[in-house]
């Protein structure tokens, strides 16, 4: 009987040849926020769900050429240029703001981009990211004698862009988002035109490799528009190096500002009046993550 | 009967306590990449380490997303492009301490040799490294410094940033293990 019990006593010793790693895996899972749903803060023309990292100032140049329809005569529109550049500062993981200027209609704009919810996994998981984008644009074109409305009142120069961007990174490669958009313009071209414009945007990216991705965006207007209205559509490729992101695209719009590419796209895929363009963004680090250990 | 009872108690104790296990979940791993153009360092204090004091076997577990960089963009690229932490979330170093039975660990630093399998970015290599270990307030403190080549672990650096990222990365490990 004793011997039997002694034998029993050794059994646990044998069973303890367990993998030491198993001891480490009983830890509580932490909440992890999903990173890098898109490479840049823009998909093609549309805003992505990304904002600059905290304490990073991003300088972005958005360059659009003329229409490609004349082919080699003006080298696919590269004789002409429309440019927007902006500075965009990441204040925290959730808040960013910036200001920019477009040469198209000479619009100055200030904007806020705020992450309301962030996609996460682990302890508290959330399937989507929700970002709010608010921008005020000021048309700074000269007062023209024949354009009495602008002349009369400064408020006539102002337009408001409001977007809710709902996005999800489905896997390493695929990220999609929808962008319900509300634009209010204080001045309308014709009396019968509406001041408030609603549209619904779709955008997505698919990573072809770690550094290259294919991007698409499209805006569907809701409600009445003028006859000549073209839908804002863009297709582009991202190429990322260390601190730069290059985006090369072809789109139906010559201006990279929301009001221009959503409501004033002049090109169409049918008539090959499309616009080549590129975005370059450069991140400047203004501070560093505070850590005692550094 | 008395002996049997005692044995039973012993048995239960041995079941619940098992062997001498030393463990931490706040170990520190730092790495440095140094080139004439740029110095990069990252810091991770979520490293788990466990040591079986009886057998000298050990295991490290390093969550890749736990590495903190000064520059948030670098951290993103580190996870997305280089270590691909979505696919390979953890690095693991598992092995044993050479000649464990003949070592006497006390308050002064003792040089030891670790032999084991290091897994980074899904690639496993057998490595041998020198390390030191000593006792401090009942805990076991371990330190290790070594150098790895990115090429060995299939971490690809594109030409355009090759001048910014070193081929050889220096790694510092610091753990303070307490008895479980």
Q: Give CA–CA dist A277/A261, Å, rounded.
A: 13
Q: How far is A126 from chain B (nearest CA, A)?
A: 17
Residue A192: predicted pLDDT = 81
CA distance B39 to chain A (A): 13
- What are the chain B neighbours of A211 within 8 Å (beta carbons)? 81, 158
Closest residue in B to A32 (Cα) is: B65
Q: Which residues contact B55 (CB under 8 A, 6 or more apart)?
A: B19, B96, B100
Q: Is the pLDDT at B1 greater than 90, yes or no?
A: no
Averaged pLDDT score across all residues of chain B: 87
Over residues B84-116, the pLDDT tens digits come to 998 999 999 999 999 888 888 888 889 999 999
Say what the pLDDT of residue B141 is: 94
Quickly list DSSP for A110-140: EEEEEEEE--EESSS-BS-EEEEEEEEEEE-
Over residues B121-132, the mean pLDDT reads: 93
A54 touches chain B (CB under 8 A): yes
Please state the domain extents for chain A: 31-285
Is the Cβ pair B77, A23 closer than 8 Å?
Answer: no
Which residues fall within 8 angstroms of residue A27, CB to CB, at 6 or more apart?
Answer: B25, B48
Check residue A293 and give its pLDDT: 43
Q: Which residues pair with B31 in a beta bridge?
A: B42, B171
Separation of alpha carbons B56 and B95, rounded Å: 9
The pTM of this model reads 0.80
pLDDT at residue A142 in the model = 78
Q: Which residues contact B174 (CB under 8 A, 6 or more apart)?
A: B27, B28, B29, B141, B142, B143
Does B14 sit within 8 Å of A20, measured CB to CB?
A: no
Nearest to B58 among A20, A211, A293 (CB): A20
Q: What is the percent of chain B where pLDDT is above 70?
A: 89
Q: Which residue of A242, A243, A291 to mutate against B (max B Cβ within 10 Å)?
A: A242
**What is the pLDDT, as a whole number, of residue A188?**
83
Q: Give which of A7, A11, A12 to mutate to test B binding, by max B Cβ within 10 Å.
A: A12
Q: Is A32 on the interface with B (CB under 8 A)?
A: yes
Residue with token string 């590495």? B67
What pLDDT does residue B119 have?
Answer: 94
pLDDT tens digits for B43-87?
999 999 999 988 899 999 999 999 998 888 888 889 988 999 989
- CATH number, span A31-285: 2.40.160.40
The CA-to-CA distance between both ends of chain B, in Å, stands at 33
- Min Cα distance A132 → chain B (Å) is 22
Percentage with pLDDT > 90 across chain B: 56
Instruction: Taking each helix axis as running N to C, give the angle between helix A2-15 and helix B2-17, from 0 to 180 degrees, rounded to the nearest 10.
Output: 0
Q: Which residues of chain A have pLDDT under 50?
A: 12-17, 292-294
Contacting residues of B for A289, CB less than 8 Å apart? 68-72
Q: Are A140 and A106 in contact (CB under 8 A)?
A: yes
Q: How far apart are CA B137 and CA B128, in angstroms?
A: 28
Instruction: Classify the complex by whether its ipTM is higher than 0.90, answering yes or no.
Output: no
């Amino acid at each position: 009987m004793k011997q039997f019990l002694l034998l029993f006593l050794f059994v646990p010793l044998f069973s303890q040849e367990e993998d030491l790693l198993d001891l480490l895996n009983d830890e509580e899972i932490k909440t992890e926020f999903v990173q890098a749903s898109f490479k840049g803060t823009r998909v093609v023309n549309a805003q992505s769900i990304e904002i600059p990292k905290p304490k990073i100032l991003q300088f972005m140049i958005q360059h659009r050429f003329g229409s490609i329809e004349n082919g080699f005569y003006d080298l696919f529109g590269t004789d002409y240029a429309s440019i927007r550049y902006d500075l965009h500062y990441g204040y925290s993981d959730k808040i960013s703001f910036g200001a920019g200027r477009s040469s198209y209609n000479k619009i100055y704009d200030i904007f806020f981009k705020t992450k309301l919810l962030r996609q996460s996994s682990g302890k508290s998981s959330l399937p989507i990211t929700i970002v709010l984008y608010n921008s005020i644009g000021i048309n700074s074109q000269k007062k023209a004698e024949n354009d009495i409305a602008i002349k009369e009142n400064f408020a006539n120069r102002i337009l408001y862009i409001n977007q809710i961007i709902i996005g999800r990174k489905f896997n390493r490669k695929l990220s999609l988002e929808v962008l319900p958009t509300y634009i209010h313009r204080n001045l309308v071209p014709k009396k019968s035109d509406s001041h408030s414009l609603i549209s619904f945007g779709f955008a997505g990216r698919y990573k072809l490799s770690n550094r290259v991705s294919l991007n698409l965006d499209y805006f569907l207007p809701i409600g009445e528009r003028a006859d000549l209205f073209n839908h804002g559509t863009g297709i582009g490729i991202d190429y990322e190096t260390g601190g730069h992101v290059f985006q090369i695209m072809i789109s139906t719009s010559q201006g990279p500002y929301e009001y221009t590419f959503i409501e004033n796209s002049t090109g169409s895929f049918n008539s090959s009046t499309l616009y080549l363009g590129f975005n370059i963004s450069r991140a400047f680090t203004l501070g560093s993550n505070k850590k005692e250990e550094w | 009967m008395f002996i049997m009872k005692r044995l039973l108690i012993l048995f239960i104790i041995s079941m619940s306590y098992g062997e001498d296990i030393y463990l931490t979940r706040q170990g520190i791993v730092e790495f440095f990449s140094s080139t004439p153009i740029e110095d990069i360092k990252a810091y991770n204090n979520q490293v788990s380490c466990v040591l079986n004091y009886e057998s000298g076997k050990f295991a490290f577990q390093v969550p890749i997303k736990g590495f903190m960089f000064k520059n948030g963009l670098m951290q993103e690229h580190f996870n997305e492009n280089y270590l691909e932490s979505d696919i390979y979330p953890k690095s693991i170093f598992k092995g044993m301490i050479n000649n464990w039975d003949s070592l006497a660990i006390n308050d002064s630093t003792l040089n030891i040799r670790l032999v084991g399998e290091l897994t980074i970015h899904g690639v496993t290599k057998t490595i041998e490294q020198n390390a030191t270990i000593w006792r401090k307030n009942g805990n076991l403190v371990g330190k290790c410094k070594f150098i790895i080549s990115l090429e060995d672990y299939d971490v690809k650096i594109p030409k355009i940033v090759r001048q910014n990222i070193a081929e050889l990365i220096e790694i510092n490990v610091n753990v303070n293990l307490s008895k479980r």
